[in-house]
């Protein structure tokens, strides 16, 4: 049987993946499915004609060791062009050793880079529950690693949200649905320069 032209035409290349590796702040904790900033990111990419497929691999309660453990399989499955790393807050809230958190974040960033992905690191701050020294050293981890690995950095994920008390759920930790556009607006200026439009070299 003769092949038709459509049958032998090369398949259209799939859109490159953009992988978000995060915790509850990116996993739509306490808000309706589809209302989170990662879903809004997919919409904005489409609106601005960036052809990426967003993969949200965020899990509520995730720590850096969990992200480190899951990342190799995610890289193998999705082969992302960009990895957005939003992890570390749960380590700090549990008072885990900063050396461990730093080592895990180093592993995550370097593993993603070795797989050919660009990395965007999202920084966090924490309440001074474990003392000023711990708090300050935790905050400084993110710019330190961003500088060493030459990756883009969002200094503080909640920067546009933290002063708006009505943008937090009753636990005072997780932003509401109303806050999600502001979270995206915080990430976008650092993410956009990493993006390539379809067909661009």
Indicate the domain borders of the chain: 15-192
Instruction: Return mean pLDDT, the chain.
Output: 92
Apex 119 CA angle, 117 and 123, nearest 5: 160
Question: What's the pLDDT score for residue 8?
Answer: 37
* Contact yes or no for 55/39 (Cβ under 8 A): no
* 30: its two tokens: 């306490």
Supply the residues annotated as catalytic: 24, 171, 174
Position 7 confidence tier, pLDDT thresholds 50, 70, 90: very low
Q: Does residue 5 surpass a pLDDT of 80?
A: no
- Which tens digits make up the pLDDT trace of 36-71? 999 999 999 999 999 999 999 999 999 999 999 999
pLDDT at 93: 92
Taking 60 as the threshold, does the pLDDT of residue 157 lie above it?
A: yes
Full-model pTM: 0.91
**Least confident segment among 9-18, 81-90, 123-132:** 9-18
Res 13: pLDDT: 58
Q: Which CATH number fits domain 15-192: 3.40.50.300, 3.20.20.70, 3.40.50.1110, 1.25.40.20?
A: 3.40.50.1110
Region 103-110: mean pLDDT is 98
Question: Can you point out the beta strands (E) in the chain?
Answer: 17-22, 53-56, 82-86, 118-122, 152-154
Q: Percentage of the chain surpassing pLDDT 90?
A: 87
Q: What is the pLDDT of residues 69-90, one digit of tens each?
A: 999 999 999 999 999 999 999 9
- Is the CB of residue 145 less than 8 Å from the CB of residue 106? yes
Specify the DSSP class assigned to residue 15: P
Asked whether residue 116 carries a pLDDT value surpassing 90, the answer given is yes
């Amino acid at each position: 049987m003769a092949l038709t032209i459509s049958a032998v035409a090369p398949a259209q290349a799939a859109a490159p993946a953009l992988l978000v590796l995060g915790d509850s702040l990116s996993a739509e904790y306490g808000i309706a499915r589809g209302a989170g900033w990662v879903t809004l990111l997919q919409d904005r990419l489409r609106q601005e004609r960036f052809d990426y497929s967003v993969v949200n691999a965020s899990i509520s309660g995730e720590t850096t060791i969990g992200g480190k453990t899951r990342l190799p399989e995610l890289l193998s499955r999705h082969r992302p062009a960009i990895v957005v790393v939003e992890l570390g807050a749960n380590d700090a809230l549990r008072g885990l050793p900063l050396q461990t958190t730093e080592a895990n974040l180093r592993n995550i960033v370097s593993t993603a880079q070795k797989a050919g992905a660009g990395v965007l690191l999202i920084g966090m701050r924490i309440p001074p529950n474990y003392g000023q020294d711990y708090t300050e050293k935790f905050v400084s981890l993110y710019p330190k690693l961003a500088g060493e690995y030459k990756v883009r950095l969002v200094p503080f994920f909640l920067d546009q949200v933290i002063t708006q008390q009505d943008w937090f759920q009753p636990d005072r930790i997780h932003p509401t649905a109303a806050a999600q556009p502001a979270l995206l607006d915080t990430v976008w200026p650092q993410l956009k320069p990493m993006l390539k439009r379809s067909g661009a070299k």
